[in-house]
Amino acid sequence: MGSKQIAQETFDDAVQENITEFEMDPEEAVREAVQQFESQGVDLSNIVKAVRQPASENGQKQKHEILLTLDSLGRAVADSDLAEMAEQLVVFTDQCKEQLAFRYLAGQNGAYSVVFSACQLASGDRNLMLKAFYTLSAILDGQPDLLDSAGQDLLLQTLKEYREDAEMTLAGIRCIRHACLKHEQNRQDFVKGGVLPLLTGAIVQHGDSADVVRMASSALRIMTFDDDIRVPFGHAHDHAKMIVLENDGLRVLIEAAKAFTDNSSVLSELCATLSRLSVRNEFCQEIVDLGGLNFMVALLADCIDHPDVVKQVLSAIRAVAGNDDVKDAIVNAGGTDLIVLAISHHLANPQICEQGCAALCVLALRKPENCNVIMEGGGALAALQAMKAHPREVAVQKQACMLIRNLVSRSRDFSQPILEMGAENLITEARATHKDCDDVAKAALRDLGCKVELRELWTGQKGSLAQ
């Protein structure tokens, strides 16, 4: 993808030139413009790749369809025409959902203020409010910067006033989720505004609604993200602690799981959030004490054919296994055999291979007894098969190397069996292919008893060699 940016108007002018100067038909003109700009390294992801609608009779210039709809919505809002506003909200929402470029163009042309006014105008009319909040959610998707403090207050107030209404709660949380993804300031503002108890409260209040539980769990997880590249240090860790310590988040999530034993998508979402909350030793233990580990292991066994679920569960097991006592609980619950099965069953999936090897790696760390179980269950062979299946995936290679090292670092008797599986060649190849694997591969080879050649790199300083 290119790094250069252009304005929508620049693209539209190029299309129009292709039509008027070179007599191309509209579709050909758009294709030619796309090819022209992409060949120059221009990123067109935020550009509407279509011909503007013809100019109207009253002299207005040509506009893209979504801007014409926005104009219609704006007029309905200005005239307080609720029936017309409801109709235009639906049309505008559908257009926004089609692609980010439509939403971006609308956002650049004042869509947020129009939609926010529509939300205010709809106040008290539940059905109209739902439509307005669906639209707000659509325009915020991928554009969290659009939300202002008035919008934050509106969303928080709506969640408080309509806390017993599942549909309104879902609509409000969806907006908050979009507003907080990749936006640290919005996250901090919402947390200060009291969103965490509203989210955990929504899970408890609407524990029978799969959609609300899934969306609220996702929103809680996003509050623990550190994904805003504009902010060097976020509050992800603090937010995770607040969810657990001040809002009983672990118990809320694990209790919610009991109502959805047959719903893998909800359980997967809850698992993903639990893994983000496993930031302290005692939190990991609490997850086990509350029955969270049992539901993870059962979920992995029941949904072994569903790669998305398997990946989330493996990630969660990896996270809670940071606690040494939890490591033993996972092994005693049969977790290692299921992890090996997951890797073998989804050997073509690099993400599952990575997470599976990482989970076994954590379980093996400082635990010779667990290493015995992993070896007996075929864990080392599964890791080497993953390395062989994904030679270009640095994350898989790295986690597998770390697992091999952990298996033999305190149990030298495993070195020969692992070498007989072909470990030396695979690890040496990983070291040669991936610079990021050099340290872990070298450590694994050394602990396996292999001869390790140290690389020497000239640093450019007199008498200085770096290995």
Closest alpha carbon to 179 in 204, 205, 146, 157: 146
Q: Which of 1-10, 71-80, 206-215 has the lowest mean pLDDT?
A: 1-10
**Distance separating alpha carbons of residues 463 and 375, to the nearest angstrom:** 45
**C-alpha atoms less than 13 angstroms from C-alpha of 295 in its C-beta half-sphere:** 29
Q: When comparing pLDDT for 3 and 361, which is higher?
A: 361
User: Hey, which residues does 351 pair with through a beta bridge?
Assistant: none
Residue 311 has pLDDT above 60, yes or no: yes
Q: How far apart are the first and last CA of the chain?
A: 36
Q: Which of 26-35, 117-126, 333-342, 406-415 has the lowest mean pLDDT?
A: 26-35
Q: What is the mean pLDDT of residues 151-164?
A: 98
Q: How confident is the model at residue 58 (pLDDT cuts 50, 70, 90)?
A: low
Q: How confident is the model at residue 289 (pLDDT cuts 50, 70, 90)?
A: very high
Under 8 Å between Cβ of 305 and 264: no
**CATH code (residue 427):** 1.25.10.10
Show Cβ contacts of residue 139 under 8 Å, excluding neighbours closer than 6 positions.
Answer: 96, 103, 106, 107, 111, 112, 115, 146
Q: How confident is the model at residue 45 (pLDDT cuts 50, 70, 90)?
A: confident
Under 8 Å between Cβ of 390 and 396: yes
Show Cβ contacts of residue 352 under 8 Å, excluding neighbours closer than 6 positions.
Answer: 307, 310, 311, 314, 342, 343, 346
User: Hey, which residues does 53 pair with through a beta bridge?
Assistant: 63
Closest alpha carbon to 186 in 234, 129, 245, 246: 234
**Distance separating alpha carbons of residues 365 and 327, to the nearest angstrom:** 9
Q: How confident is the model at residue 193 (pLDDT cuts 50, 70, 90)?
A: very high
Q: Which domain holds residue 36?
A: 1-53
Q: How confident is the model at residue 46 (pLDDT cuts 50, 70, 90)?
A: confident
Under 8 Å between Cβ of 116 and 150: yes
Residue 56 has pLDDT above 80, yes or no: no
Confidence at residue 60, expressed as pLDDT on a 0 to 100 scale: 59
Is 47 inside a domain boundary? yes
Q: What is the mean pLDDT of residues 385-402?
A: 98
pLDDT digits (tens, 9 = 90+) for 85-111: 999 999 999 999 999 999 999 999 999
**Distance separating alpha carbons of residues 12 and 10, to the nearest angstrom:** 5
Phi-psi category of residue 59: left, alpha or beta, with phi > 0 → left and psi -120 to 50 → alpha: left
**Distance separating alpha carbons of residues 70 and 222, to the nearest angstrom:** 30
Q: What is the DSSP string of 298-366?
A: HHHHHTTT-HHHHHHHHHHHHHHTTSHHHHHHHHHTTHHHHHHHHHHHTTT-HHHHHHHHHHHHHHHTT
Is 222 inside a domain boundary? no
Residue 352: both structure tokens together: 């599952």
Confidence at residue 462, expressed as pLDDT on a 0 to 100 scale: 44
Largest CA distance in the chain: 86
Out of 11, 37, 53, pick the residue that ends a domain. Answer: 53
Segment holding 458, helix H or strand E:
strand 457-458
User: How many structural domains are present in the chain?
Assistant: 2
Segment holding 120, helix H or strand E:
helix 111-121
Is 306 inside a domain boundary? yes
Confidence at residue 457, expressed as pLDDT on a 0 to 100 scale: 44
Confidence at residue 48, expressed as pLDDT on a 0 to 100 scale: 85
Q: How confident is the model at residue 61 (pLDDT cuts 50, 70, 90)?
A: low
Q: Which of 251-260, 274-283, 346-355, 449-458 has the lowest mean pLDDT?
A: 449-458
Give phi and psi for 194, each to the nearest 5.
95, 30
Out of 22, 38, 53, pick the residue that ends a domain. Answer: 53
- Going by their DSSP bridges, the two strands 457-458 and 465-466 should be labelled as antiparallel
Show Cβ contacts of residue 256 under 8 Å, excluding neighbours closer than 6 positions.
Answer: 203, 204, 207, 213, 217, 266, 270
Is 462 inside a domain boundary? no
Confidence at residue 464, expressed as pLDDT on a 0 to 100 scale: 40
Angle (CA) 264 267 268, round 5°: 80
Confidence at residue 1, expressed as pLDDT on a 0 to 100 scale: 43
